[in-house]
Amino acid sequence: MSETKRTALVTGANRGIGLAIARALAEKPGMQVIAAARKLPDAEQAAAEIGHDSVGVHLDLSNPVDVSDRARELLGEFGQIDILINNAGVLTPGSASEISVEDLAESLNVNAASPFALMRALGPSMRERGWGRIVNVSSGWGSFDEGLSGPAAYSISKATLNAATLSMAQALGPSVKVNAVCPGWVRTRMGGLAASRSPEAAADTPVWLATLPADGPSGGFFRDRRLIEW
């Protein structure tokens, strides 16, 4: 990536993979990071930890309609957002016979509909400027090829996010690279302390996708920088 000034919005940037992604992006020349979290104090604390002129902002993904409005506010405030990392998510345990409809609705809102709202609000301006990168942090548990083997609400919502990734890549065209990534089993509050991978290692592929060159891929699903099946 050139040293052209870019602005990156990272959701769920206050801890775990999101914080690691935000830190890595902030190290890139000419990059400003907008660290988003559900609670503003958490976002501001993350921005202070990240440094490099990062800014913390409030962004609650529970209501996709509100997210659309908030995205437009952020676009007006910052002038442009060149990179979107849809990282924030929720994981509700239980099989399809155990979860409630409310559990599924919450997971779909946070893990799929609100990321779609952000893509829909920010993607067109990226296309108009002729450059944009969107990275959706998904999961192998949302892969049909791997059997949708995770907790039902999580798997269904991540499969939906994968579908939204491919649809948005087709809609936004070649100048805006839209990809999904499986970061692996990561030592976070969601993944647990027994997980095999650090947040920093998990951030590698999302950061790579966020800084792809003009001839980079779009509409794909990646793990460890390698294309995997949906």
Catalytic machinery residues: 154
56 bridge partner residues? 35
Q: Which two tokens stand for residue 29?
A: 């020349």
Are 143 and 156 in contact by the 8 Å Cβ rule? The answer is: no
The H or E element containing residue 40 is: helix 40-50
Name the pairing type of β-strands 31-37 and 55-58: parallel
What is the Cα Rg of the chain in Å?
16
The C-alpha atoms of residue 45 and residue 48 are separated, in whole angstroms, by: 5
Task: Output b/e per residue, 90-123; b: 16+ Cβ within 10 A.
Answer: bbbeeeeeebeeebbebbbbbbbbbbbbbbbbbb
In 180-192, which positions are buried (b, 16+ CB within 10 angstroms) versus exposed (e)? bbbbbebbbeebe
Contacts of 42 (CB under 8 A, 6+ apart): 14, 15, 56
